[in-house]
Amino acid sequence: MKLARQGLPPSRIGVVLRDQYGIPLVKPILGKSVNDVLSAAGLAPNIPEDLENLIKKAENLKKHLSRNKSDYINKRALSLLESKIHNLSKYYKRRGILPEEWKYKAVVAAVT
């Protein structure tokens, strides 16, 4: 809980617990994952961490493409990345982690 209040994402919390406190895995000890513990305490992130990282990557790629308009390889990389974002968001909507009305847009990437 203390690490989440400091702003660390769940994956980083697991690394800190492993490296500094000698806890190799949280799930065998608590019976829950780090993300489950954080959501029970109300400290879980709004958007899952993997989806948030993909959105940040797309944002950086859009900035790059705004400076380098003829970079066709990265234009394709951006379309593949946005496809991953859409597929992952559909998965999280089916699981009930994201609300049904959530939608990825370029504006969302600029805000995040």
Residue 57: its pLDDT value, please?
95
Both 55 and 92 in a single domain? yes
Both 35 and 73 in a single domain? no
| Mean pLDDT, residues 75-92 taken together | 93
pLDDT at 112 over 70: no
Alpha helices in 1-112 (DSSP H): 2-5, 10-21, 27-30, 34-41, 49-67, 72-95, 106-111
Both 59 and 102 in a single domain? yes
Instruction: State the CATH number of the domain containing residue 104.
Output: 1.10.287.10
Residue 46 pLDDT level (bands cut at 50, 70, 90) = confident
Domain that holds residue 21: 2-41
Both 53 and 106 in a single domain? yes
Number of folded domains that form the chain: 2
Both 105 and 55 in a single domain? yes
Both 20 and 72 in a single domain? no
| Mean pLDDT, residues 94-99 taken together | 93
